[in-house]
């Protein structure tokens, strides 16, 4: 009897032997449900195995099975946890993909305050700090005795500080630094980080706290920004802020998609078995943590100032080769007893200091200011520079952001400018060396017409950027809309990319997204065109062969099954991103309802404000958009949601509109919204004269309360709501 996939397989011995000595075997497969004891054993086995593979892949960088095999094991565990929910561990490997939703992050007081480090940009001040350490330890007689004070040097990771608590080898809590005394419980989000062990290995303390830094790797940051640019959205400023914002997401499933990473670098416990910081970190790595090591030179030990300076010098020169951002070096006294003797100031420990690297800045010549047009028509000025080496790459162009930035810095063509990269993915001009400006220099006048189609630019009140309003006639906007339409999170058309879009547009085969569904093999096979990069440079010839044409056309056909919410996102309506499209699909169910909805009706949908509602109405008022929409409908795209209708419990709230605010005892915030809808009511994201009730929980926003009172909208408590639905 062999257990297999939750069932059993019985192998039966030979049934007969004939004169010719031929054996006949029979195989009987019987399926029986796995019992709880078998499931518990298999779940434990899978958990141990998956945790080990996860550690090998993400921490040791030494995987021993394929991604496919790992996914199969994970799927088996997910199935077992679905069948036996009572056996699910909060630290199960399945929690890595997220899915938990929270309305709030609970405040948690740190057992040991998370103090900030004093920092300096001066190497002389590092020398002075080292002298103070010796004096603080009472070593006046032998001030620089090399065997009395040992220092540990570590990279200063540019991310978000966290504190993790483990009990009996299990992760029980992950908390942000907060104000140093109190942080926020983000455990569900921490569990999605693959380099944070959920269960420990080896001989570890029964209960301890370990601190570290969550960060976003450079490649992931670049991938995320490439997606945002493709969707016509502003790129994120730097990896640090993006990592911090990601950890504060309320949907852990979204956090999991961002592929955050983490280094752990400080252990706290009442009775640590080690007397120094370095040994604690070494053993933390044995317990399963991703901790800095000698192997990768992310940590060093020394007994004097020369060793400290050598470590600083090395990483000041090599930091740009790292796969993540650092902004300095942290130096600590290694011995715990010496740390305790040196003590703390009100804000920081005396036994540690951070040396911060200066943001790398270079000067170069600005030859010309040109302008790019984005998918949404946004105009971005670009500084075309004399090539200069900066932060590990050769920089030829830098962002000038907008007209206000150019005016503020008085940037002119022919200027010698200062360029900085820092944590930004795009280099930026941060200043001008006016001492090198010639007498012939003239102030720069921002363009008034689109550089691509010559349409007069507009600038909306309260916005920094200028826009080209010719969205249906401006080539970069047309191509940008099609690139957005075929992108992975939208229609995901395999075999069609940015270069193909540009080539087919130049050949006159594509003028809008509907044309994609009219493409034929005889038009495409053997077609040749020239493509360039985003700056119109580096031309190369492309030829479409039969195989690539077949892949493209199969991708077009497959896209007709993409769900309505993604089709709506693909249309490229301004301010209707991926999340807003889902909310609209859930609320209105189909494209016709959205098209016919008034501003007031649009505002009733969750998370839809005046700006989004106005943009939607404007899009549907354009006859050209409606023609494209009809062609897409005729092509067979999905314009009705397949999401299940909310289960109707009653009609007690029929015709009533509710706004939900605050934190509740009997419901989560999403739960009370589901309850309202299941009883026939509507949920709105903002209070208006059409709101019937505001359900006020704990910590309701004072502005919402005031607005409800000013408009005379009834404010009811959670208990009042429960009475209202009669439950």
DSSP string, 184-238: EB-HHHHTT-TTS-SB--SS--SEEEEEEEEE--HHHHHHHHHHHHHTTPPPPS-
Q: Which residues contact 507 (CB under 8 A, 6 or more apart)?
A: 527, 529
248 to 240, 242, 423, 671: CA distances (angstroms) = 13, 10, 20, 20
Q: Which residues contact 438 (CB under 8 A, 6 or more apart)?
A: 414
Secondary structure (3-state) at 461: coil
Tell me: pLDDT of 521 over 90: yes
For residue 154, the cross-strand partners are 299, 330
Secondary structure (3-state) at 89: coil
Q: How far apart are alpha carbons 582 and 169 in whole angstroms?
A: 40
The pLDDT tens digits for 88-101 are 777 787 776 655 55
220: tokens are 């992931």
Give me the helix-helix angle, 718-725 and 669-678, nearest 10°. Answer: 30
Are 233 and 183 within 8 A, CB to CB?
Answer: no
Q: Which residue has the higher pLDDT, 228 or 144?
A: 228
Residue 536 confidence (pLDDT): 67
Residue 421 confidence (pLDDT): 75
320: tokens are 């740009």
Q: Where are the alpha helices (DSSP H) in 270-348?
A: 277-286, 305-318, 336-342
Q: Identify the CA nearest to 658 among candidates 604, 703, 698, 700.
A: 604
What Rg do the C-alpha atoms of the chain give, in angstroms?
31
Q: How far apart are alpha carbons 44 and 457 in whole angstroms?
A: 63
Residue 106 CB neighbours (<10 A): 12
Are 149 and 133 within 8 A, CB to CB?
Answer: yes
Q: Which residues contact 478 (CB under 8 A, 6 or more apart)?
A: 471, 472, 505, 511, 512
Residue 519 CB neighbours (<10 A): 16
Are 539 and 532 within 8 A, CB to CB?
Answer: yes
The predicted model gives 1-30 an average pLDDT of: 41
156 is catalytic: yes
Q: How far apart are alpha carbons 410 and 392 in whole angstroms?
A: 28
Confidence of residue 706 (pLDDT cuts 50, 70, 90): confident
Tell me which of 125-134, 214-223, 354-363, 560-569 is least confident: 354-363
Confidence of residue 305 (pLDDT cuts 50, 70, 90): very high
Q: Which residue has the higher pLDDT, 252 or 331?
A: 331
Are 249 and 300 within 8 A, CB to CB?
Answer: no
Residue 181 confidence (pLDDT): 81
Buried b / exposed e over 158-170, threshold 16 CB at 10 Å, is bbbbbbbbbeebe
378-386: long-range pairs with CB below 8 Å, 24+: 378/232, 378/465, 378/466, 378/467, 379/447, 379/450, 379/451, 379/457, 379/465, 379/466, 379/467, 379/468, 380/465, 381/406, 381/446, 383/411, 383/417, 383/419, 383/429, 385/417, 385/419
Residue 352 confidence (pLDDT): 95
Tell me: pLDDT of 254 over 90: no
User: Domains of the chain, with CATH numbers?
Assistant: 1-28 (no CATH), 34-88 (1.10.287.610), 119-356 (3.30.470.30), 361-436 (2.40.50.140), 475-561 (1.10.150.20), 564-635 (1.10.150.20), 657-725 (3.40.50.10190)
Q: How far apart are alpha carbons 180 and 114 in whole angstroms?
A: 4
Residues in the chain: 727
Residue 411 confidence (pLDDT): 96
599: tokens are 């501003």
Residue 55 confidence (pLDDT): 72
Q: How far apart are alpha carbons 420 and 390 in whole angstroms?
A: 8
Q: Give rounded-to-5 percent helix, strand, coil for the chain.
A: 35, 25, 40
The predicted model gives 620-627 an average pLDDT of: 95
The string of DSSP letters for 679-718 reads TT-EEESS--TT--EEEE-BT--HHHHHHHHHHT-EEE-H
Residue 534 confidence (pLDDT): 64
The pLDDT tens digits for 563-597 are 999 999 999 998 898 878 988 998 899 999 999 99
Are 594 and 605 within 8 A, CB to CB?
Answer: no
The predicted model gives 98-117 an average pLDDT of: 76
Are 177 and 163 within 8 A, CB to CB?
Answer: yes
Q: What is the DSSP letter of 456?
A: B
622 to 44, 490, 629: CA distances (angstroms) = 59, 22, 11
> Up-side HSE of residue 74: CA atoms within 13 Å toward CB?
18
Give the position of tokens 């004096």. Answer: 135
Tell me: pLDDT of 71 over 80: no
Tell me which of 446-455, 531-540, 628-637, 652-661 is least confident: 531-540
For residue 354, the cross-strand partners are 119, 330
Arithmetic mean of pLDDT over the chain: 85
The predicted model gives 113-141 an average pLDDT of: 83
Q: How far apart are alpha carbons 550 and 723 in whole angstroms?
A: 61
CA 135, 138, 140, 142 torsion-angle sign: negative
Percent of the chain with pLDDT over 90: 47
Give the position of tokens 């999401």. Answer: 643
Q: Which residues contact 100 (CB under 8 A, 6 or more apart)?
A: 188, 251, 252, 253
Residue 425 confidence (pLDDT): 56
Q: Which residue has the higher pLDDT, 559 or 249?
A: 559
With 0-12 / 13-18 / 19 or more C-beta atoms within 10 angstroms meaning exposed / middle / buried, residue 670 is: middle
Percent of the chain with pLDDT over 70: 88
Question: Residue 563 — left, alpha, or beta (φ > 0 → left; ψ -120 to 50 → alpha)?
Answer: beta
Q: Which among 21, 95, 107, 156 is annotated as catalytic?
A: 156
HEC letters along 410-453 = CCCCCCEEEEECCCCCCCEEEEECHHHCCCCCCCCCCCCECCCC
The predicted model gives 480-490 an average pLDDT of: 92
Tell me: pLDDT of 637 over 90: yes
Q: Which residue has the higher pLDDT, 452 or 93?
A: 452
């Amino acid at each position: 009897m062999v257990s297999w996939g939750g069932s059993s397989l019985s192998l039966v011995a030979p049934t007969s032997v004939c004169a010719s000595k031929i054996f006949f075997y029979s195989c009987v497969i019987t399926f029986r449900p796995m019992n709880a004891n078998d499931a518990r054993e298999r779940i434990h086995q899978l958990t141990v195995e998956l945790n080990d593979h996860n550690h090998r892949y993400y921490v040791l960088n030494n995987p021993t099975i394929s991604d496919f095999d790992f996914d199969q094991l994970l799927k088996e565990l997910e199935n077992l946890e679905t069948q036996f929910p009572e056996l699910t561990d909060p630290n199960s490997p399945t929690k890595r993909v997220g899915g938990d939703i929270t309305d709030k992050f609970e405040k948690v007081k740190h057992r040991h305050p998370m103090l900030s480090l004093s920092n300096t940009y001066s190497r002389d001040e590092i020398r002075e700090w080292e002298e103070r350490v010796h004096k603080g330890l009472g070593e006046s007689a032998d001030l620089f005795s090399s065997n009395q004070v040992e220092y540990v040097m570590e990279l200063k990771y540019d991310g978000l500080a966290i504190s993790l608590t483990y009990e009996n080898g299990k992760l029980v809590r992950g908390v942000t630094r907060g104000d140093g005394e109190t942080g926020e419980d983000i455990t569900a989000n921490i569990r999605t980080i693959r380099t944070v062990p959920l269960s420990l290995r080896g001989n570890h303390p029964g209960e301890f706290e370990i601190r570290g830094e969550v960060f976003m790797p450079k490649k992931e940051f670049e991938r995320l920004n490439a997606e945002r640019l493709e969707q016509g959205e502003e790129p994120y400023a730097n990896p640090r802020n993006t990592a911090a914002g990601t950890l504060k997401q309320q949907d852990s499933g979204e956090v999991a998609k961002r592929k955050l990473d983490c280094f752990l670098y400080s252990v706290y416990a009442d009775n640590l078995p080690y007397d120094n910081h370095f040994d604690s970190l070494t053993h933390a790595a044995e317990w399963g943590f991703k901790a800095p090591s000698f192997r990768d030179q992310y940590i060093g030990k020394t007994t004097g100032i020369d060793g400290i300076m050598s470590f600083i010098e090395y990483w000041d020169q090599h930091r740009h080769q790292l796969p993540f951002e650092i902004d300095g070096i942290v130096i600590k006294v290694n011995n715990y007893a010496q740390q305790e003797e040196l003590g703390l100031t009100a804000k920081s420990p005396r036994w540690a200091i951070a040396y911060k690297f200066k943001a790398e800045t270079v000067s170069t010549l600005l030859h010309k200011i040109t302008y790019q047009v984005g998918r949404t028509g946004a105009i971005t000025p670009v500084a075309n520079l004399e090539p200069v080496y900066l932060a590990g790459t050769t920089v030829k162009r830098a962002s000038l952001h907008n007209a206000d930035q150019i005016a503020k810095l008085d940037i002119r063509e022919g200027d010698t400018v200062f360029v900085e990269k820092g944590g930004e993915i795009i280099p930026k001009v941060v200043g001008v060396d006016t001492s090198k400006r010639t007498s012939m220099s003239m102030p720069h006048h921002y363009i008034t017409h689109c550089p691509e189609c010559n349409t007069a630019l507009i600038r909306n009140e309260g916005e920094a950027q200028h826009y080209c309003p010719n969205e249906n006639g401006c080539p970069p906007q047309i191509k940008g809309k099609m690139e957005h339409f075929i992108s992975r999170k939208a229609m995901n058309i395999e075999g069609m990319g940015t270069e193909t879009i540009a080539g087919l547009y130049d050949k006159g085969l594509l003028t809008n997204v509907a044309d994609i569904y009219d493409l034929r093999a005889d038009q495409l096979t053997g077609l040749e065109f020239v493509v360039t990069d985003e700056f119109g440079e580096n031309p190369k010839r492309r030829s479409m062969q039969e195989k690539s044409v077949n892949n493209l056309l199969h991708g077009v056909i497959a896209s007709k099954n993409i769900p309505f919410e993604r089709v709506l996102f693909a249309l490229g309506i301004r301010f209707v991103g991926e999340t807003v499209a889902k909310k609209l699909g859930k609320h209105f169910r189909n494209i016709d309802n959205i098209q016919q909805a008034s501003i007031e009706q649009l505002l009733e949908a969750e998370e839809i404000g005046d700006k989004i509602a106005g943009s939607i109405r404007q899009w549907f008022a354009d006859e050209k958009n409606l023609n494209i929409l009809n062609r897409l409908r005729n092509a067979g795209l999905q314009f009705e949601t397949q999401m299940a209708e909310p289960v109707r419990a009653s009609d007690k709230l029929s015709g009533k509109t509710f706004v939900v605010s605050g934190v509740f005892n009997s419901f989560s915030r999403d739960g009370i919204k589901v309850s309202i809808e299941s009883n026939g009511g509507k949920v709105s994201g903002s209070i208006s004269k059409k709101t019937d009730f505001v359900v006020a929980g704990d910590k309701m926003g004072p502005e919402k309360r005031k607005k409800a009172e000013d408009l005379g909208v009834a404010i009811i408590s959670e208990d009042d709501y429960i009475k209202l639905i009669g439950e």
